[in-house]
Amino acid sequence: MTTTERGRQPTLTGRRVRLRPWRPDDAAAVLEACQDPEIQRWTQVPVPYTKEHAEGFVAGIAPQIWDEGGALFAVEPLGGAALVGSMGLFPPQDGVGEAGYWTAPGRRGRGCTADALRVLTDWALDVVGVHRVELLVDPANTGSRRVAERAGFLAEGTIRQRFLHRGQPSDVVLYARLATDLRPGA
Query: At residue 54, what is the residue type?
Result: A
The three-class DSSP label of residue 98 is: strand
Looking at residue 164, its pLDDT comes to: 87
| One pLDDT digit (tens) per residue for the chain, 186 residues | 344 456 899 999 999 999 999 999 999 999 999 999 999 999 999 999 999 999 999 999 999 999 999 999 999 999 877 899 999 999 999 999 999 999 999 888 889 999 999 999 999 999 999 999 999 999 999 999 999 999 999 999 999 999 888 889 999 999 999 999 998 875
∠38-57-25 over CA atoms, to 5°?
100
For CA atoms 18, 30, 22, 61, the dihedral sign is negative
| Per-residue pLDDT at 186 | 56
Give me the CATH number covering residue 56. Answer: 3.40.630.30
Q: Which domain holds residue 19?
A: 3-131
Q: Considering the domain boundaries, does residue 165 fall inside one? A: no
The pLDDT, as a whole number, for residue 1 is 39
Radius of gyration of the chain (CA): 16
DSSP-derived letter for residue 82 is S
What local confidence, expressed as pLDDT, does residue 4 receive? 43
In a domain, 126, yes or no: yes
User: Parallel, antiparallel, or unpaired for β 12-13 and 17-21?
Assistant: antiparallel
Predicted confidence at residue 165, as pLDDT, reads 82
What is the structure's pLDDT at 5? 53
Q: Is residue 151 part of a domain?
A: no
Contacts of 36 (CB under 8 A, 6+ apart): 104, 105
In a domain, 167, yes or no: no
CA dist., res. 76 & res. 20, Å (int):
8
In the chain, the number of structural domains is 1
Strand order of the β-sheet with 154-165 is: 12-13, 17-21, 71-77, 85-93, 96-103, 132-137, 168-178, 154-165
Domain contains 148: no
Residue 18 lies in a domain: yes
Q: Let me know if residue 161 belongs to a domain.
A: no
Instruction: Report the run of H or E that residue 103 belongs to, with start and end.
Output: strand 96-103
DSSP secondary structure of 112-137 = HHHHHHHHHHHHIIIII--SEEEEEE
